Structure 1
Amino acid sequence: MTVLIIKNCAREGPGTLGEILCSNDIGYEIIELEHEEEIPDPTKYEALIVMGGPDSANDTTKTMRQEITRIENAVKADVPYLGICLGMQALLKACGGNVIKSPVKEVGWKDLQGKGFSLELTPTGKKDTIFEGLETTLPIFHLHGETVELTDEMKLLATGKHCRNQVVKVGDNAYGFQGHLELTTEMLDTWLDEDDDLKQLSSEEVKKDYATVRDEYERNSEKVFTNFLRIAGII
């Protein structure tokens, strides 16, 4: 079994998702778009996973056009899909939705009022296998300035206070998460050093917030990603 993973940005890798793939002896191939690597035919893989990055799904670059086309091909072929942040927005763009400026730029663990970002499962989300075994309210780490508009055929599985459309399902097995459940301690350290938006925050406070929810966050991450792999029929 082989999973295709597309990295839009060198620092935004699969994180805990990669760890779960390895622990289940699931092979995967990573395509680095920053190195201008060509994206292979996703229908040759058991699943397609697209990570985040600072670009926009609205960009008209050759790389983004190729990415959108490959995602569209995968969804049409019923290849299980998981998109995170930009990967979620690219999914919506590829399937007829819109990517627009978010009413609030969500960065880190908390909003400007100091309240933690969270996902609230919708009635549809509570019934979906992707959230099996999880609570109806989940903490989430954010790093985005855009959001999405759904088509009538898409399902909204989880909402947020400031940015409503947080988790989206397209068809039977294509999922998009606005937040970063794949986050690890090492990734967070790198992002704090390199991301311009995160540099505006206190790294000490961000790390402290992570420590507070880390155990719960890792459990949620493992359940969501394992559920996706089961939906995909890989485990």
Structure 2
Amino acid sequence: MTQRTLQAIRHVGFENLGSFEAPLREAGYAIEYIEAAEHDLTQLDPNGADLLVILGGPIGVYDHDTYPIVTHQLDILRTRLAADRPTLGICLGAQLMAAALGARVYPGPAKEIGWSVLELANTDEPNPLAELRDVPVLHWHGDTFDLPQDCTRLASTEICHNQAFSRGSNQLGLQFHPEVLGARFEHWLLGHACELGTSGIDPVALRRDAGLYAKGLEQAGKHMLRGWLAGLSF
């Protein structure tokens, strides 16, 4: 098997590759986490890794004046996406991808935090999210984005029209979290305790739903990722 390199830009420790790690390693990827808070992102080669993953985080694309790492990641993505290099964005990562492609990112009509199914779009090519049909996924965001030019909408929810998009076969942005591990979900509740409290969202209900849905999402998410990885071109 060909050994490939993967760099994952991580903003907070518990929002990692989660259930995606196993299928990525099975596919021959050597995983390197790039800690956004510690790494000089201006020195990161945008096209250096075979696959770049930008993970979630509790900041917004429009926080660039307060958090320079936003600008640094946008610079990386503009170069990488223009070269059509394999790229996956999850939550904040998807928002950064959309912004790098020229789309507007802005606060949504309401925070979307909890477990619910996606409405998958009918696409000309097979929808890469087909394995997630009727599977409750984890949503944890307040921002949304317009669909970037020359991209395909893959999924929606009632609150968020653009839940996922693709740009060719090499670039995938996911507003939701298909990578979350049920065994580590308590880290999410503790790490985002302030946000849950100010939003009036009950962590007890989120924990209960994770117990109901996380295992199913872990399996479906792995199958979805394997299919997407198989279609990448380098």
Using the size of structure 1 for normalisation, the TM-score is: 0.87
RMSD of Structure 2 on Structure 1 (CA): 2.0
Q: Residues 14-43 of structure 1: CA distance to partner in whole angstroms, max 9, x if unpaired?
A: 111122223444202110012244262131
For 2:8 and 2:138, locate their aligned partners in 1 and report how far apart those are by CA, in whole Å: 21
Map 1:54-73 onto structure 2 (within 5 A): 54-60=58-64, 61-73=67-79
- Tell me whether 1:45 sits opposite 2:49 in the alignment: yes
Using the size of structure 2 for normalisation, the TM-score is: 0.88
Q: Decide whether the 8 Å contact of 2:55 with 2:89 is kept in 1.
A: yes
Q: Residues 19-78 of structure 1: CA distance to partner in whole angstroms, max 9, x if unpaired?
A: 222344420211001224426213121111100001111222321111011111111111
Map 1:197-212 onto structure 2 (within 5 A): 197-199=195-197, 200-212=200-212
Which residue does the alignment assign to 2:226?
226
- Structure 2: stretches of 5+ with no match in the other structure: none
- 1:12–1:125 distance in 2 versus 1, CA, 3 Å: farther
- Structure 1: stretches of 5+ with no match in the other structure: 110-116
Quote the sequence identity (%): 27
- Tell me whether 1:160 sits opposite 2:157 in the alignment: yes
- 3-state DSSP class of the match of 1:123? coil
Instruction: After superposing the two structures, state which structure 1 stretch, 140-149 or 21-30, moved more.
Output: 21-30
Q: Decide whether the 8 Å contact of 1:131 with 1:223 is kept in 2.
A: no
The residue identity in structure 2 corresponding to 1:122 is A
For 1:125 and 1:180, locate their aligned partners in 2 and report how far apart those are by CA, in whole Å: 24
For 2:132 and 2:143, locate their aligned partners in 1 and report how far apart those are by CA, in whole Å: 26
Q: Point out 4+ residue stretches in structure 1 off by more than 4 angstroms.
A: none
Which residue does the alignment assign to 1:121?
120
- Tell me whether 1:140 sits opposite 2:137 in the alignment: yes
Which residue does the alignment assign to 2:101?
95
Instruction: After superposing the two structures, state which structure 1 stretch, 194-203 or 45-54, moved more.
Output: 194-203
Q: CA deviation at 1:153?
A: 1.8
Match of 1:74 among 77, 80, 84: 80
Q: CA deviation at 1:164?
A: 1.1
Aligned residues, how many? 225
